[in-house]
Structures are given as C-alpha cells and as structure tokens.
Amino acid sequence: MVRRHKFSIFQSDALELRALPNALLIKPQNPWPDPPFHWDTERKFEKRLNMSLCIQQSVKVHPSGLARRAIGKRIKSVLGLIVTRGADVEVVEGVPTIKFNHDDVGEKWLLKGWTYFVRPQPCLHLMGHAEVIPILRAALLDIKLKGDAMEEAWARGNTLPPETRRTERKLSRERSNVSNYNSSKPSSGQSKSGKQRSARQPSTSSSWTLS
C-alpha cells in the first residue's frame, strides 16, 4: 500500500502540483450520465492526449470569483501550450520571450491514467504566460519522471522506486532554469509573492481534458 504523501509533489511560490493515479481516487456517488455512445472510443485520433486536471482554489487565492476563474484559464492555457506546442521561455536582451519547439511535445509531459491537482497561489494572478511557463514546465517534468519511476517499480512488484542519478540530474536542470529565470525578475515581485504564500487551502475544483 502506498500512502498519498508518498507520491511526488511540486511546490513553488506560484503553485503546487500533485498527481495521483485514477485508481486511487474515490468514484463519485452520482457520476455524470453516460451518453448512448462512448465518444472517446468512437473518435479515434492518433495524436490525442487525455489528462484530468483539477484546479483547487479558495477566496484566499483571490476574493473575486472572476479573478479565480482567470487564474484557472491561465493555468489551462499554459499547460496546453507546453504539451501541444512545446512552449518555453528565453530571455533575449533582458526581455522574456516565449518560443515553441514542436519536437518537445506529446506524452513526455503527462502521465497516462493520472489526475493532476493544481493549487495556485495568490501571486499567480499577477503573473503572465512568460512567467508561468518555466514553473509549470519544471512541475510537469518533476511529476512525470517520478510517476514513471513509480509505475516501473509497481511493474516489478515493488512499492516505491529507488531514486536514480539520471532522474535527479533532469530535475535539477529544470529547477535551475526556474531559479535562474526568477533571479532575473525584480526583487519587489518576489517579496510580494513571498508574503502571499501562506494563503493555501483547497476548495471547489474543476476538471479539464486536453485534446
């Protein structure tokens, strides 16, 4: 048996990301009624990627419901840009610039059959796409590498996988990219996000499927 706290979790000043296998989630008592046909099996796409996303927010993130909705849309938009278009950020002449790499897309970012839980922080409301992309890239890679290691361990009959040097090197590179990018930002923004870090509490969530 693997307890929930054993699963990987990514934490930063902007958001917290956790992933759990769908098999461990409690089935709803009143599931959404099924249509007369299963559209997912009827519509066959070779490059289709399915994932479940649950965004957990409360009034502590922002008192305005419109602002919380905007935060959720920003997270979904950035996630789609990373997975489907390989979005990344480079600092060109001191200006963060979004670039796209179509060779850096697809299943390498997602765990099949897992549900992702995102808990944003208040400072995310003031951040643009160029600031969120490096953080979410590091978070997705962290969860992906550790989740793959756990699935390989389960296939061998083990409960938890041993940490490998290759995994740690990949994670350290992505984390260093985030830290280097954050170090180029003004210190006032960092202090402001630090003051608001304590506002963390789950609330009503929403689901999303990436196509």
Taking alpha carbons only, the member of 125, 116, 123, 13 closest to residue 66 is 125
Taking the whole predicted model, whether its pTM rises above 0.75 is answered as no
In a domain, 127, yes or no: yes
In a domain, 203, yes or no: no
Q: What total of structural domains would you count in the chain?
A: 1
Q: Provide the domain limits for residue 72.
A: 7-26+47-195
Return per-residue pLDDT of the chain as tens, 211 residues.
455 556 778 999 999 999 988 877 777 676 666 555 555 545 555 566 667 889 999 888 889 989 999 999 999 999 999 999 999 999 988 899 999 999 999 888 999 888 999 999 999 989 999 999 999 999 999 999 988 988 888 888 876 665 544 555 555 666 666 666 566 655 544 444 444 444 444 443 433 444 3
Which DSSP letter does residue 204 get?
A: -
In a domain, 67, yes or no: yes
Q: Which amino acid, residue 189?
A: G
Look up the CATH number of the domain holding residue 158: 3.30.230.10
Is residue 49 a contact partner of residue 110, using CB atoms and an 8 Å limit? yes
Distance of CA 114 to the CA centre of its chain: 12
